[in-house]
Amino acid sequence: MVPGKLNPDPPALIEKSALGAPSVATRHGWDAPAEQASPDSTWERELGWSDEQWERTMATATVLETPDVTLDSLLASPEGRPLLSCIQCGTCAGACPYGDVMHFTPRRLIGMLREGFIDEVIASDDLLSCVTCYDCWAKCPRGLHLTDVLLPVVKEQLLIQLPEVPAELQSALSNTMRYGNPMGESPRKRAAWIDSAGVPVPILRDLGRPVDVLWIVECYAAYYPRGQDNARATARVLDALGVDFAILGAEEKCAGECARLVGEKGLFDTLREQNMATFGKYEYASLLTSDPHAFDAFSFVYPSLGLNKPVDHSTPFLASRLDALRPRLTRELGYRITYHDSCVLGRHNHMHDEPRRILEALPGVTLVEMTHNRDNTICCGGGGGGMWLDTHYKAKGHPRLSDRRVEEAIATGADVLAVSCPYEVPRFEDSLKVLGYDDRMVVRDVMELVAEALDD
């Protein structure tokens, strides 16, 4: 895991500018030839940099050290002060997947903020189009914290002042507050999927003893029917690995990462307090989650409330234990797979090799890459509240980001689109249907593919 530390000093401009130029060359050129964007070819090789040099220039995942920063105090805060150093180059606007349909791109937003015109930005609902893909942050030559610092505090004011919060988002947020999940499902039914898991899935309260791994299943894997396939597969994999694990069942609530990034800080604070109280009731050595969004929240934002346990996501968790499972991965799959790097696990946490190592270990699998991969991945459109803004985007005439991604996946000739984030399954499956590709490609979580390759 990339250490979750805020870099107090923005990287030197000269160092980042070397990275900045090729980033521009490879950003969202939808028709760019694959070899141009492949991370191990052309410009990266030509620069002849060592891994260490790349490591140094790569933007690292962040921790918000002052969670109570507000818009008023932003430019005076350690996180926000570097915004004054923005050079208005517009790389963020070019990198933003909705940069072409937003009036207030991150570049313009920073300009307005510095000149005292932020109220105009807030009065428009433009920032609802931010799907927190971390691309502006990843490609900023000044290393500015746009996605996780600037945008949430502006969006917080937006949610307060918006005359009408889009209905879908409103119900997701209200449901998360009331029921602990955005679907508005019964909290009591959160663990209903375990009856069909095929392996024992203990609930920590019933177990009555400490466990090594407390698995936070999260909302989409716990409730959404296709997400439950992921949960069942993960349970089988944990069982096969002999991991001592348990879940919270009805006591689990949403981690709240999307609430925070859409600007619903009060909801996030409430969930975080409730979850910390629940975690505090039990003894466990580490946290595991199926959701990259929860992984980010537990890794970077919960620690300020005292969460001090190691946190892992199911994909890197398995990648580090792959050798133990390898003898049991015997079922020939015969799939041509392309892997989609999620914005959070991929771009934000740079976990690109872990899922690929797992997929390459599955019998009969050929792995092919999409044009945009690894840190240069294309967002599915589901982050930062985007999961509940599809109707809003449609009404605004925005393109559907998952459609762009699926077009690229189809172009690889793969028959399976592999993912590591439970949000992506419904998004990509919907896009495959809408675009008429559902007879050519299926979407599978990495865990589902591993469970499929497992002997009985």
Partner 1 sequence: MKILVLMKMVPDIVEELEVAGDGTSLDQEYLRFIVNERDDYALEQALILKDRLGATVSVVAPEAPEVDDVLYAALAKGADRVTKVSGIAENTGTRSTAATLAATLSSIPDALPADLVLSGCQAIDDLDGFIAPLLAESLDLPYLGLVSRLTVDAGTAVASKEYAGGVMGRYEVTLPALIGIQGCEKPPRYVPIAKVRAAMTSGDIETVAATSGPDTTQLQVAAMAKPTEAGHAEMLEGSVPDVAEKVADILADRGLL
Instruction: Please identify, using beta-carbon distances, which residue of 33 and 163 lies nearer to partner 1.
Output: 163
Q: Distance (Å, rounded) from C-alpha 377 to C-alpha 415?
A: 19
If binding is defined by CB under 8 A, does position 13 make contact with partner 1? no
If binding is defined by CB under 8 A, does position 269 make contact with partner 1? yes
How many residues form the binding site for partner 1 (CB under 8 A)? 24
If binding is defined by CB under 8 A, does position 188 make contact with partner 1? yes
Among 98, 104, 179, 223, binds partner 1 (CB under 8 A): 179
Helix (H) or strand (E) run with residue 419 in it: strand 416-419
Among 29, 184, 210, 413, binds partner 1 (CB under 8 A): 184
Helix (H) or strand (E) run with residue 337 in it: strand 335-339
3-class state of residue 216 by DSSP:
strand
Minimum distance between the CB of residue 264 and partner 1, rounded to whole angstroms?
6
If binding is defined by CB under 8 A, does position 135 make contact with partner 1? no
Among 156, 375, 429, 445, binds partner 1 (CB under 8 A): 156
Minimum distance between the CB of residue 165 and partner 1, rounded to whole angstroms?
4
CA 78 to the chain's CA centroid = 25
Among residues 172, 271, 183, which one has the least CA distance to residue 228?
Answer: 183
Helix (H) or strand (E) run with residue 57 in it: helix 51-57
If binding is defined by CB under 8 A, does position 276 make contact with partner 1? no
3-class state of residue 375 by DSSP:
helix
Pairing of strands 335-339, 416-419: parallel
Q: Distance (Å, rounded) from C-alpha 315 to C-alpha 245?
A: 16
Instruction: Please identify, using beta-carbon distances, which residue of 264 and 354 lies nearer to partner 1.
Output: 264
CB 129, CB 102: distance < 8 Å: yes
If binding is defined by CB under 8 A, does position 170 make contact with partner 1? yes
3-class state of residue 188 by DSSP:
helix
Minimum distance between the CB of residue 271 and partner 1, rounded to whole angstroms?
9
Q: Distance (Å, rounded) from C-alpha 377 to C-alpha 386?
A: 17
Residues 227-266 that bind partner 1 (CB under 8 A): 263-266
If binding is defined by CB under 8 A, does position 222 make contact with partner 1? no
Residues that bind partner 1 (CB under 8 A): 156, 159-160, 162, 164-165, 167, 170, 173-174, 177-179, 184-186, 188, 263-267, 269-270
